[in-house]
Structure 1
Amino acid sequence: MEKQKILIADDSEMNRALLAEILKEQYDVAEAENGAEAISLLSKQRADFSLLLLDIVMPEMDGLEVLACINKYHWNDTLAVIMISADDSPANIKRAYDLGAFDYISRPFDLTIVQRRISNTMFLYARQQRLEKIIAEQLQEQKKIMS
């Protein structure tokens, strides 16, 4: 079975490397150095990604701007976003959720918690995709029967 693909968008090379290291066995991992690069990758390959791990504080385009863009284009209909940031102010957490973040993990993080939250998110994402496919197939069957 093909591995689900995760995009890590963080301006810290060390953070990206740490996350990639803990995820690479189970997932196909891609990286973006900032929000603008993340949006560029998603605009070209959005269907390839199941999850975006997104830092808030980044140059060029911060994580909240990325979330606003994802929300604007309804990319979060098929892409789960987990914020991973050292900025855990209640205002930023609330704004991230309001903009469509699926979860928020504060840094420094516990690797076990990060792995579990990501695996739970990916499980729910895969289940949602399966259910949507079943519904689409049933609608097609209904259309055939009615015509």
Structure 2
Amino acid sequence: MDKKTILMIDDVKLNLATARDVLQKDYILCEASSAKEGFEILDKVIPDLILLDIVMPEMDGYEMIRRLKASRRLRKIPVIFLTAETDPASEIKGFDLGAVDFIVKPFIAQVMKRRIETQLELSAYQQSLEKIVEEKVEENERLQNMLSVGFAELVESRDGVTGGHIKNTSIYFEAFVSALKELPKYKEEVTDEFIKLAVRSSPLHDIGKIGIDDIVLRKETSLEKGEMEYMKTHSELGGATFHKIRKNFQDNEFLKIAEHMALYHHERWDGNGYPMGLKGTDIPLEARIMSIVDVYDALTSKRPYKEPFSHEKAYAIIKEGRGTQFDPDLVDEFMRLGDVMRDRLEHKEELRRAMAEA
């Protein structure tokens, strides 16, 4: 079994020598006489455990552990404080800062070894659990991706008129929502997690079309008024599908975003959309984003009853809907992404193939 690495930081040479005698047989021991030296070693080595003296010149152990816990790279390394202090206040402060244990000086060899062994075992167990959780999360994400793409292909296999629409909108949606993350206005809402879940949900926005009769869904001419009203029910059908599933998974953010997108992507900023007639920011952000890319794809795609509009004409039409059909701030950002969207439009066939193969 490979030896574990321990970094010991103590400004007293005698303490370093004592620990060396106790630990060097069973562990790889790195030594530092100050916090500064300790960080220099940490630039090169990630130890399995840190033994950290509290009372040191320049930077004490409390300040060093604050910096360790603020570092993404170092925060998970277990830290045991070395101290001559035995008062409860010092221990409480150390634990509050993230220490896992204390070893009292002068060192008792067997006590020192047992405390180190215990913390290394706990750390290994925690890492094992984290790995299991990470694998389960990755498996769940792969399943969600497969289901999203699979349902999208199912809808598109029935809809012979708007072929590729679901994947196209997902391609545009990903570019759009990723760009929003860089804007201060959306900093709180458009997080990495939101982007990941919203992108994964986006192919499901038209899932309600599965419930629409083929005669209407596959019609190659413009829909009559009654047929159009019937077609509009796909939003409610899609929303209801996810609402039923969410009853058993109340806290599932993926399903919540998918429901919002399916139910609300035909709402309008001015309140004249469907099915609920929501207005302004009452419409969830993911649905407001989808409504723009949904229209962009519809305009730039060929239909039996129309030729595809150019990117420029589609952009002009969407701009006309600023503040009426669409969120004005989102339209402004969509306008700024003109080159990005044009590139996605021009390469959508290969991007769709890549999406299907992922």
Q: TM-score, normalised by structure 1?
A: 0.89
Aligned position for 1:73 = 71
Aligned position for 1:134 = 132
- Cα displacement (A) at 1:9: 0.2
Given that 1:56 and 1:83 are in contact with CA atoms closer than 8 Å, whether structure 2 keeps it comes out as yes
After TM superposition, list the pairs within 5 Å mapping 1:44-123 onto structure 2: 44-45=43-44, 48-73=46-71, 77-123=75-121
- Cα displacement (A) at 1:37: 1.6
AA aligned to 2:56 is M
Aligned position for 2:34 = 34
AA aligned to 1:9 is I
Could you list the per-position Cα deviations for residues 40-85 of structure 1 after superposition, in whole angstroms to 9, with x for gaps in the alignment?
A: 322x146x21111011111221111111212233566420000111
Inter-partner Cα distance in structure 2 for 1:141 and 1:37: 42
Q: Relative to structure 2, which stretch is displaced further, 24-33 or 69-78?
A: 69-78
AA aligned to 2:3 is K
Could you list the per-position Cα deviations for residues 5-53 of structure 1 after superposition, in whole angstroms to 9, with x for gaps in the alignment?
A: 11000011111121122111221110111112213322x146x211110
Q: Name the % identity.
A: 37
AA aligned to 1:16 is L
Inter-partner Cα distance in structure 1 for 2:121 and 2:51: 16
Indicate the SS of the match to 2:11. Answer: coil
Aligned position for 1:3 = 3
AA aligned to 1:141 is E
- Cα displacement (A) at 1:109: 2.6
Match of 1:144 among 142, 145, 153: 142
Listed as ranges, the gaps of 5+ residues in structure 1 are: none
1:120 and 1:103, CA in 2 relative to 1: closer, same or farther beyond 3 A? same
Given that 1:32 and 1:38 are in contact with CA atoms closer than 8 Å, whether structure 2 keeps it comes out as yes
1:10 and 1:67, CA in 2 relative to 1: closer, same or farther beyond 3 A? same
| Cα RMSD for the two superposed structures | 1.7
Inter-partner Cα distance in structure 2 for 1:75 and 1:86: 29
Inter-partner Cα distance in structure 1 for 2:72 and 2:98: 10
Larger strand share, 1 or 2:
1
Indicate the SS of the match to 1:3. Answer: coil
Listed as ranges, the gaps of 5+ residues in structure 2 are: 146-358
Structure with the bigger RCO (C-alpha within 8 Å, sep 6+) is: 1
1:104 and 1:75, CA in 2 relative to 1: closer, same or farther beyond 3 A? farther
Larger helix share, 1 or 2:
2
Asked if 1:25 is matched to 2:43, the reply is no
Inter-partner Cα distance in structure 2 for 1:117 and 1:76: 21
Given that 2:69 and 2:76 are in contact with CA atoms closer than 8 Å, whether structure 1 keeps it comes out as no
Q: TM-score, normalised by structure 2?
A: 0.38
AA aligned to 1:88 is T
Indicate the SS of the match to 1:49. Answer: coil
- Equivalences, count: 145
Aligned position for 2:253 = none
Given that 2:81 and 2:94 are in contact with CA atoms closer than 8 Å, whether structure 1 keeps it comes out as yes
Indicate the SS of the match to 2:69. Answer: helix
Inter-partner Cα distance in structure 2 for 1:146 and 1:86: 54
Given that 1:56 and 1:63 are in contact with CA atoms closer than 8 Å, whether structure 2 keeps it comes out as yes
Inter-partner Cα distance in structure 2 for 1:27 and 1:137: 30
